[in-house]
């Protein structure tokens, strides 16, 4: 019996290898070289399931070339592992397009009806993209978003400090809550869909099932769909009577969908999935920025000094003996004259960014006149590979350098940005750069600056884990930790008082390395 089982197993393995050879035989010699998995046919799928996006580092090292192919049966993904190829990918943006994924997301995540799904296959994604870009461009609409976001941030930080003498705070949970509440107030107004803690909790539950919903059959218990439905219901209620205080961004989003022929229910659901890119990416980015900053006492001390000497934080003495001090955070100065805090933020993105950007090959494309990408297959650009290129980032590319994005002596801000722009991709790559990057960066910098000045944050256990386990199953651009960490939050007594924000205008941009 054992012999027969061994024969069957050997036969199946032989068949798998034969099938793998068959599918490989269809490759055009001009296509990027195919990397053979250890296990035929499904080896790369198993690798991605086990290691998440970090699997691309292993395959890129094994390939030893700037672009290669990963295959599963007749399905191919071209992996561009070099920043040198980014300009060529951008040049062919019409043929190497992100648009097909927007239609897929509308159905898989947004539960789009058949009618809505068909409409998303037309020009609607382009119309929505243009509307979002205009609403988030520097100007009065972005100013309004930032002002309302800042007001809510002050509330959540004050609540955090008020409870600092009680139980410890779960840092990831707090970062998620702060981002959801601040961003929701900005986009939807104070009466937003996430006021109910159950809806907010359901949102994060839903996020853990995104991969399952993308595949379509893995959510066998239906818990992910149930959590999503609770979020949908909150949005349907909100969208049935959008308040006047709702932002221009939200109103335009609904207008464009409505004029395209999308039903009211579908409009509400599509508004709900709009949060996937904002909440689920900003929250872990905030978490890790705080982690990297507060785990380095010397850098934290320098950031505090920078906030004061730059004029970003101003102290107004009390007018009367018994009145409290007033502190003002000038956001325009924070964005433009605090290079060390910005550098810590961007180095956090560089070293912890994991998820690749996607493109579908809409027709045969010759990249750099030598790499043939065949129609119907896919292209991925793994940022965590490009962010470790020594030819861009130097011999310390694999290390966290808090000063990396601070202009060097004799080097202007523009020179520094030109040097790093081609290899810094956490916000995507042109023409698909995240349109909300200025808003999100401002939000994270405000929270980090306020906490740096007002709080001392340390792990309840007393030691920072230098290499915590990560949840690579999460589809966020920065993987969150597998285990949330309880933090002790102490109030800095010299900085107790009334805090205000001086927002300024959005014309003063955050000088991000990506542009």
Query: Residue ranges for the binding site for heme?
Result: 434
CB-CB neighbours of 219 under 10 Å: 18
Structure tokens at 100: 């097909």
Structure tokens at 66: 């700037």
Chain center to CA of 397: 21
Q: CA angle 155-198-177, nearest 5°?
A: 35
Chain center to CA of 39: 32
Peptide bond into 87 cis (omega under 30): no
What is each CA distance from 366 to 97, 417, 487, in whole angstroms?
15, 29, 52
* CB-based contact 71:22 (threshold 8 Å): no
- State how far the Cα of 347 lies from the Cα of 384, in Å rounded to an integer: 12
- State how far the Cα of 361 lies from the Cα of 380, in Å rounded to an integer: 11
**What are the two backbone dihedrals, phi and then psi, of residue 499, each rounded to the nearest 5 degrees?**
-110, 135
Question: Number of helices and strands (H, E) in the chain?
Answer: 22, 13
Q: Which residue has the tokens 């996006």?
A: 53
Query: Which residues are documented as binding site?
Result: 434
Q: Assign 409 to helix, strand or coil.
A: coil
Which runs of E-coded beta strand occur in 39-111? 67-72, 75-80, 96-97
């Amino acid at each position: 019996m054992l012999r027969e089982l061994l024969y069957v197993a050997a036969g199946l393995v032989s068949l798998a290898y034969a099938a793998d050879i068959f599918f490989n035989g269809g490759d055009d010699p001009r296509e990027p070289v195919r990397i053979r998995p250890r296990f035929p046919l499904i080896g790369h799928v198993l690798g991605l399931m086990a290691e998440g996006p970090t699997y691309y580092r292993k395959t890129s090292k094994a390939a030893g070339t700037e672009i290669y192919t990963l295959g599963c049966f007749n399905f191919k993904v071209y992996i561009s592992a070099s920043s040198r190829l980014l300009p060529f990918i951008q040049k062919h943006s019409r043929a190497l397009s992100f648009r097909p994924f927007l239609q897929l997301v509308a159905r898989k995540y947004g539960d789009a009806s058949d009618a809505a799904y068909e409409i998303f296959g037309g020009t609607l994604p382009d119309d929505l993209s243009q509307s979002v870009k205009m609403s988030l461009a520097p100007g009065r609409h972005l100013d309004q978003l930032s002002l309302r976001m800042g007001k809510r941030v002050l509330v959540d930080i004050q609540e955090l400090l008020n409870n600092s003498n009680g139980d410890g705070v779960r840092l990831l949970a707090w970062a998620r809550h702060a981002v959801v509440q601040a961003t929701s107030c900005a986009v939807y107004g104070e009466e937003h869909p996430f006021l109910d803690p159950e809806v907010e909790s359901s949102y994060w539950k839903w996020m853990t099932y995104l991969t399952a919903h993308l595949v379509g059959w893995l959510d066998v218990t239906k818990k992910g769909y149930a959590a999503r439905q609770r979020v949908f219901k909150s949005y349907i209620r909100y969208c049935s009577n959008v308040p006047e205080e709702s932002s221009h961004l939200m109103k335009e989003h609904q207008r464009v969908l409505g004029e395209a022929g999308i039903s009211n229910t579908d409009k509400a659901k599509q508004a709900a999935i709009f949060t996937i890119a904002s909440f689920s990416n900003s929250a872990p980015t905030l978490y890790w920025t705080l982690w990297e900053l507060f785990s380095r006492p010397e850098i934290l001390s320098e950031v505090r000094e920078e906030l004061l000497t730059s004029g970003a934080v101003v102290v107004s003495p009390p007018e009367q003996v018994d009145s409290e001090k007033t502190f003002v955070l000038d956001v325009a100065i924070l964005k433009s004259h605090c290079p060390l805090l910005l550098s810590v933020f961007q180095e956090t993105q560089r070293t912890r960014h994991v998820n690749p950007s996607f493109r579908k090959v809409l027709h045969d494309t010759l990249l750099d006149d030598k790499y043939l990408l065949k129609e119907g297959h896919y292209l991925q650009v793994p940022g965590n590979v490009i962010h470790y290129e020594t030819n861009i980032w130097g011999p310390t590319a694999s290390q966290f350098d808090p000063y990396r994005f601070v202009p060097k002596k004799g080097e202007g801000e523009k020179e520094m940005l030109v040097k790093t722009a081609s290899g810094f991709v956490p916000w995507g790559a042109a023409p698909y750069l995240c349109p909300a990057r200025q808003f999100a960066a401002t939000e994270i910098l405000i929270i980090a600056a306020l906490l740096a000045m007002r709080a001392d944050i340390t792990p309840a256990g007393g030691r920072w884990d230098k290499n915590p386990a990560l949840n690579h199953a999460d589809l966020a651009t920065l993987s969150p930790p597998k285990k949330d960490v309880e933090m002790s939050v102490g109030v800095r007594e010299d900085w107790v008082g009334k805090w205000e924000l001086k927002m300024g205008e959005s014309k003063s941009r955050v000088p991000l390395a990506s542009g």
